[in-house]
Amino acid sequence: MNVSSDPGTAINSLDLPGRADMHAARARIAPHAHITPVLSSRGINALAGAELHFKAENLQRVGAFKFRGACNAVFSLANDEASHGVITHSSGNHAAALALAARLRGVTARIVMPDNAPDVKKAAVVAYGGQIEFCKPTEKAREETVERLRESTPYALVHPFNDRRIIAGQATATAELLEQVPGLDAVITPVGGGGLLSGAGLAARGSGVAVFGAEPANADDAARSLAAGRIIPVEHPDTVADGLRTSLGPLTFALIQRDVRSILTVGEDDIIAAMRLLWERLKVVVEPSGAVPLAALMANGIPSGARRIGVILSGGNVDLKSLPWQ
Amino acid sequence: MNVSSDPGTAINSLDLPGRADMHAARARIAPHAHITPVLSSRGINALAGAELHFKAENLQRVGAFKFRGACNAVFSLANDEASHGVITHSSGNHAAALALAARLRGVTARIVMPDNAPDVKKAAVVAYGGQIEFCKPTEKAREETVERLRESTPYALVHPFNDRRIIAGQATATAELLEQVPGLDAVITPVGGGGLLSGAGLAARGSGVAVFGAEPANADDAARSLAAGRIIPVEHPDTVADGLRTSLGPLTFALIQRDVRSILTVGEDDIIAAMRLLWERLKVVVEPSGAVPLAALMANGIPSGARRIGVILSGGNVDLKSLPWQ
């Protein structure tokens, strides 16, 4: 399903989350999620030529903003829906996030993962109590495996991004940031499937804060989709930013079309350099995807009119044995 | 100069800093130093068997608590003392900290460094505007070089740890932590020259919070010195914890004798494992010295009666190209 190039028609036909959903998500996840700190570095500001405020979602539970959406989705379920457990297909941070959220609610999490997923990702899911079901590493196999499992047990499906509860949950990261640092001119987040970015747009809507997305040039489906006015999925993206290899879904695309100023793209070397700069100067462990916004700002220049910029550091899950600058 | 084994006599003959000095330091450095966040991880707590609250001094300016003491010392100087500039000998974080503090005050910083100091340490001093004077890599050459430079210009000497202004400044890290996390049973810090640990003792004095030090077994001068009742310097320590290779000075030894419960020691493999655990679970870049307290707690067990423990993550300056687990 693609969204029409007429956003008015498209949006009216979709069940988009609103700001009330975001406020409800904030209250719902408050007992479980961290209010993550906002960090800054004079050295990075001098290099970037702007005042950057980094929202450290790498310090969120499971090491990524993904916990916000997963937690909101799982705790949104009615008792009878939740009772059978939840299911998703993911080889990334959403898998671990859903496993933890389910454990906190006391229900089962079935995680469909491709059989070639990295050991560290499998271990994270198992550590949070998730039950892994392996499948062939194709989108078709993932979806079929989910459907097969749901035939025997009515697990509640929680898609990684194309889900109004997920988007409302991810929006809480930006909502917090806007309160923690008043007077921002802009917010920039990475964009893969678009949950974090569409949530940022929702959180900033009506505030006058411009919202930007950033993605690898090698996985630039969001930039292409916005330019074309329809979703153009990226095929076999080759990028170090493993969290940004997915393409937009109808809900996230519609919100991004409505609320996001533009998408910046950046090359692989710049992503790795920005990641290293964050480790060296902010002293935090950020995964490649989380460094993409800083990389994009430094490579493209600061958007005009943006002096104080909020940057979401989306996650910090990385294999410390194999760092991309080595 | 060694301190007598009779602490009463020793302490009376020394010009030790008091709590008023610490309070003054806090006000003096407030415009310049960060109030660093306190981080925690359920996963680490489960592994350690205690509730650990990590004071993230790796997020302090120059990436280490050393900025607190250096800033306090430089801003303590009378105008006429400061006008000639400051000097120290150090190849570590104190060198960069003094350079930055001097720049903030608008005075010169001369840093005597051994000519074999790592490039990354030299670069940090230069980046903060310090003027490096190289010398042979011996304690004697360092001190002679400082004295030679002071013959031509009356630079104010700021020793890395055996200085009441430095100790009062480092004490502010623990003073902040005790306010940020009420109800701690204990605080543990690394101990090299003893500025941070003696400051912790000063900050916790009279509060009922037990203070512990932690050091590498391969650089266990503090444990030996406390046991012997006199300073026993360590010769050529071989430890990955490069910040903890120095030995106690008379001021820090006297305060540690008075205020610190005991010193825990730990081996190299445990230090590296704890460092990696902090990177993986807390998602922060911590240098080996900063991981020594966690390593010591996990290797020695939690001290009896200590359930809620504050841990000072002393710094985050590390060569990302060469990590000890690789």
**In this complex, is the C-beta atom of A282 within 8 Å of any C-beta atom belonging to chain B?**
yes
By Cβ distance, the residue of A43, A276, A283 closest to B316 is A283
Pairing mode, if any, of strands A51-56 and A38-39?
Answer: antiparallel
Q: What is the pTM of this model?
A: 0.93
Asked if pLDDT for residue B10 goes beyond 60, the answer is no
Out of A8-22, A89-103, A138-152, B142-156, pick the least confident: A8-22
The number of residues in chain A equals 326
Using one digit for the tens of pLDDT, what is the confidence trace for A13-53? Answer: 788 999 999 999 999 999 999 999 999 999 999 999 999 99
Rg of chain B taking only CA atoms, in angstroms: 18
Using one digit for the tens of pLDDT, what is the confidence trace for B122-160? Answer: 999 999 999 999 999 888 999 999 999 999 999 999 999
- Which of the four pLDDT bands, split at 50, 70 and 90, describes residue A11? low
Predicted pLDDT of residue A33: 98
By Cβ distance, the residue of B37, B127, B279 closest to A285 is B279
Asked if pLDDT for residue A297 goes beyond 60, the answer is yes
Using one digit for the tens of pLDDT, what is the confidence trace for B254-311? Answer: 999 999 999 999 999 999 999 999 999 999 999 999 999 999 999 999 999 999 999 9
CB–CB of B204/B178 below 8 Å? Answer: yes
What residues of chain B, 147 to 176, have a C-beta less than 8 Å from chain A?
none
Predicted pLDDT of residue B126: 95
Report the C-alpha gap between A124 and A281 in whole angstroms. 28
**In this complex, is the C-beta atom of A39 within 8 Å of any C-beta atom belonging to chain B?**
yes
Amino acid A27 reads A
Question: Which H or E element spans position B49?
Answer: none
By Cβ distance, the residue of A283, A285, A326 closest to B63 is A283
Q: What ipTM is given for this predicted complex?
A: 0.91
Report the C-alpha gap between B311 and A3 in whole angstroms. 52
Please state the separation of Cα A197 from the chain's center in Å. Answer: 7
Asked if pLDDT for residue B9 goes beyond 60, the answer is no
**In this complex, is the C-beta atom of A322 within 8 Å of any C-beta atom belonging to chain B?**
no
Output the average pLDDT for chain B. 94
By Cβ distance, the residue of B282, B320, B325 closest to A279 is B320
> What percentage of residues in chain B have a pLDDT greater than 90?
88
Using one digit for the tens of pLDDT, what is the confidence trace for A220-244? Answer: 999 999 999 999 998 889 999 999 9
Per CB-CB distance under 8 Å, the chain B contacts of A325 are 320-321
Question: Which of A59, A283, A318, A322 is the mutation pick for testing B, counting most B CBs within 10 A?
Answer: A283
Report the C-alpha gap between B131 and B138 in whole angstroms. 20
Question: Which of B283, B286, B317 is the mutation pick for testing A, counting most A CBs within 10 A?
Answer: B283
Per CB-CB distance under 8 Å, the chain A contacts of B59 are 39, 282-283
- Per-residue burial over B98-114, b = 16 or more CB atoms within 10 Å of its CB, e = otherwise: bbbbbebbebbbbbbbb
Using one digit for the tens of pLDDT, what is the confidence trace for B207-240? Answer: 999 999 999 999 999 999 999 999 999 888 999 9
The stretch A108-123 carries a mean pLDDT of 90
